[in-house]
Structure 1
């Protein structure tokens, strides 16, 4: 068969067009593929770090960082860091949490989440309490197992502390001396096995606006006067370029033990750890 220059040009052109079409199609296919791992990162500033109704920063602001690696299977692992106050957490300036677990769905609107979280406080120890006789060595680090079940915009969560509750013991937090707001309150045995229950809600009321709420109860094993109920409501506004801003109101059952709590770092300043509080946040997601 004769191969004229025109014939070769047409064949060459056809091959080039085919290659171009394949090259154009390949990125489109890749763009449609779901990545096996996603790694959301966020940085936020809050005017007060409230954890289950109690300030962790002595009423002061906190800079917080979080990163999480999520697999398409539902497995995940994450890290969270925040500054904290040694007035409340003896010897600690930073909290670093390591967690991991598995999320999945039972039905389209029903999901679950089970995992472990390890709260750590580098350098923190009850030996740093300024109160003599209440400062036997004991780590603040706490391991917690949790389970959550969600339905649409509601989530029920429960968890159990597998170690002592942030190092609380009959030495550092006893009755008749550990809590000046209520001398009868305190620890009477091991706080291992403390647990909590909470109900969370997050509902999109309009485009870019989310209304949230929380109600919970923390039980601290072998204690009197220290269990606490906590509540929170707030609104978050999504902003351009991954920014968001929020305003929240936090309240608790305000056990008297947490009133006028004396600083563990200086022994003189006082703060109401669980008082009603309005706080705000601004965050950037990457």
Structure 2
């Protein structure tokens, strides 16, 4: 499949997802008062996930919808365009997630969840690098638990599958990362853990200061673990619109510098470079 046809498929899938979310949620909301169905549509100038750009530095259209029960149980779906330069063969990320939220006290809460990151039609066999493109799915299942206190949230979790399909074939030492030949995967990346501390403090009506400090460890690897930090501010309006601006900083291991495109083998990008980005979201 050509790059243009993949982009067309991504646009169609995102449009269909947004349409389905927009039409289904109001109908469901009328059925049971115990359920609520928040929907969000947004645009971000760069989709940064744990310090790494998923869109090769380009903007992303993102949509999400949840079904939240009064008991605390929830299930949701989220979609975003991504880049096949970084995620071989991928143009869309489709996440399916669910879990249970509750409170231990008025100011103390918890959230136990699972998320399945999927990339329809994508596979590591789509990598252009011969010898590093054995068939392997990018799809990843991750479990997490979070505890919140007022405006602070601590979250930790681990992948229950390989970390986005990274293996000794496609991401090895001496061949997988051109920014650092010694960096790479040395065994199974299953059970790769992360920890995060997030903050969201409302300093004035509608104005919130946000912060994030986290660390992602790639199990059985060298030179790939990353520490990331994000700080920003957002403004919420009464009609459901929110605009935000943030700055992302990471430890940027050398492995992620001048990362060669998995789609063409020639383009290069600093995947985890420091980056200022903006977002616009509409909640329904």
TM-score, normalised to structure 2, is 0.88
Cα distance in 2, alignment partners of residues 242 and 190 from structure 1: 43
Which residue number corresponds to residue 79 of structure 1?
77
- Per the TM alignment, residue 161 of structure 1 is displaced from its structure 2 partner at its CA by 0.2
Give a deviation string over 1:122-175, Cα, whole Å, max 9, x none. Answer: 011000000000000000000000000000000000011000000000000000
Quick check: 1:194 aligned with 2:192?
yes
Larger Rg: 1
CA distance in 2, matches of 1:254, 1:206: 34
Match of 1:122 in 2: 120
Q: Which runs of 5+ in 1 are unaligned?
A: 1-33
> Which of 267, 270, 278 in structure 2 is aligned with 1:269?
267
- In structure 2, the partner of 1:141 is 139
| 4+ long deviations beyond 2 Å | none
Superposed displacement of residue 98, structure 1:
0.2
Using the alignment, how far apart are the partners of 2:236 and 2:219 within structure 1? 40
Tell me which residue corresponds to 2:102.
104
- Which of 164, 168, 175 is residue 177 of structure 1 equivalent to? 175
Is 2:244 the counterpart of 1:246? Answer: yes
What is the aligned length?
253
Counterpart selection for 1:57 from 55, 65, 87:
55
Structure 2 segments unaligned to the other structure (5+ residues) = 1-31
Alpha-carbon separation, structure 2, partners of 1:181 and 1:76: 41
Instruction: Output the CA distance in 2 between the equivalents of 1:209 and 1:139.
Output: 41
The answer to whether the aligner puts 1:47 opposite 2:45 as a matched pair is yes
Q: How far apart in 2 are the matches of 1:167 and 1:256?
A: 21
Partner of 1:132: 130
Q: RMSD across aligned C-alpha pairs, in angstroms?
A: 0.8
Q: Distance in 2 between matches of 1:152 and 1:241?
A: 25
Deviations 1:219-273, CA, capped at 9 Å, x for gaps: 0100000000000001010124111100000010010000000000000000000
TM-score (normalizing by structure 1): 0.88
Which of 257, 272, 282 aligns to 2:255? It is: 257
